[in-house]
């Protein structure tokens, strides 16, 4: 059971907008720790998509965005493309466990 | 372009010690935390622990008693050792660079805000008798 909760799967048609939620608690997101997001295409290493709740690293398109409020965070992908099909993970810090923690991951399927 | 290249034994027997090394090419070794993460087959990511250039470490508590992290600053390398492995330790192991600032001054935060911006390609470790 992950400290950060994500839906197991989401889907959308090309061109549509999808959001992936990440729900934490008072010892992680609720404390004010930032959330970061990673994309993992099957068989490859994760890639940083969003850091510090809503900052995009160089090279990540602006159709990808992140937000955080209280104990929840969201990743939004608009203009869905076939290449977006992957697993997405949120990550933060949890003071109760003293660990960096990941969500369980969400599989995005592009229909 | 910073790259992480990792290597180590891929097949172990129960009770043996897992040993992996990650080399950092093309960037500073002193400004970051160097992190190990693993992913069991078909499952999500699990943080194992991290170390900085001066040897300061932090560990995932359930693994702390079995994990040793070290750095070799002369070679820009860091290493993971995990003792007494079992089948539950079968996973892909990733090394990654952890940072808490974006270098442009628009994001700079404390230790708890580290994120992993560069990852190694992963090493598959299988524990089987």
Mean pLDDT of the B3-18 span: 97
CA distance A50 to A46: 12
Residues of A in contact with B58 (CB under 8 A): 98
In the block, tokens 């230790």 appear at: B111
Percent of chain A whose pLDDT exceeds 70:
100
What pLDDT, on the 0 to 100 scale, is given for residue B108? 82
If 0-12 CB within 10 Å is exposed, 13-18 middle and 19+ buried, where does residue B12 land? buried
CA distance A23 to A6: 7
pLDDT one-digit tens code per residue, B29-80: 998 999 999 999 999 999 999 999 999 999 999 999 999 999 999 999 999 9
What pLDDT, on the 0 to 100 scale, is given for residue B114? 94
From the CA of B46, how many Å to the nearest CA of chain A?
Answer: 7
Nearest CA in chain B to A6: B44
What pLDDT, on the 0 to 100 scale, is given for residue B41? 97
Task: Inform me whether the pLDDT recorded for B20 exceeds 80.
Answer: yes
Task: Inform me whether the pLDDT recorded for A35 exceeds 80.
Answer: yes
Task: Inform me whether the pLDDT recorded for A19 exceeds 80.
Answer: yes
What pLDDT, on the 0 to 100 scale, is given for residue A83? 96
Q: Does B1 touch chain A (CB under 8 A)?
A: no
From the CA of A57, how many Å to the nearest CA of chain B?
Answer: 8
Task: Inform me whether the pLDDT recorded for B105 exceeds 80.
Answer: no
What pLDDT, on the 0 to 100 scale, is given for residue A18? 98
CA distance B9 to A99: 27
Buried b (16+ CB within 10 A) or exposed e, B52-63: bbeeebbbbeeb
Mean pLDDT of the B5-9 span: 97
pLDDT one-digit tens code per residue, A74-108: 999 999 999 999 999 999 999 999 999 999 999 99
Task: Inform me whether the pLDDT recorded for B107 exceeds 90.
Answer: no
| β B115-119/B46-52 pair status | unpaired
CA distance A106 to A90: 9
């Amino acid at each position: 059971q992950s400290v950060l909760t994500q839906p197991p799967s989401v889907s959308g048609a090309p061109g549509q907008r999808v959001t992936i939620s990440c729900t934490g608690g008072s010892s992680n997101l609720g404390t004010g720790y930032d959330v970061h997001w990673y994309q993992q295409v099957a068989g490859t290493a994760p890639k940083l998509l969003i850091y510090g709740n809503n900052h995009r690293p160089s090279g990540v398109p602006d159709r990808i965005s992140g937000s955080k409020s209280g104990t929840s965070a969201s990743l939004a992908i608009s203009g869905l493309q076939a290449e977006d099909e992957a697993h997405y993970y949120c990550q933060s810090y949890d003071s109760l466990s003293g660990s960096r923690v990941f969500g369980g991951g969400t599989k995005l399927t592009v229909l | 372009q910073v790259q992480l290249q990792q290597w180590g034994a891929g097949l172990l027997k129960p009770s043996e010690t897992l040993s992996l090394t990650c080399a950092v090419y093309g960037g500073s070794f002193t400004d970051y935390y160097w992190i190990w993460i693993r992913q069991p087959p078909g499952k999500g990511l699990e943080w194992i622990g991290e170390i900085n250039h001066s040897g300061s470490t932090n560990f995932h508590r359930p693994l702390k008693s079995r994990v040793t992290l070290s750095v070799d600053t002369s070679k820009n390398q860091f290493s993971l050792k995990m003792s007494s492995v079992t089948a539950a330790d079968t996973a892909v192991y990733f090394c990654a660079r952890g940072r808490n600032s974006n270098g442009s001054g628009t994001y700079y935060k404390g230790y708890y805000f580290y994120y992993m911006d560069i990852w190694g390609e992963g090493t598959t470790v299988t524990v089987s008798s």
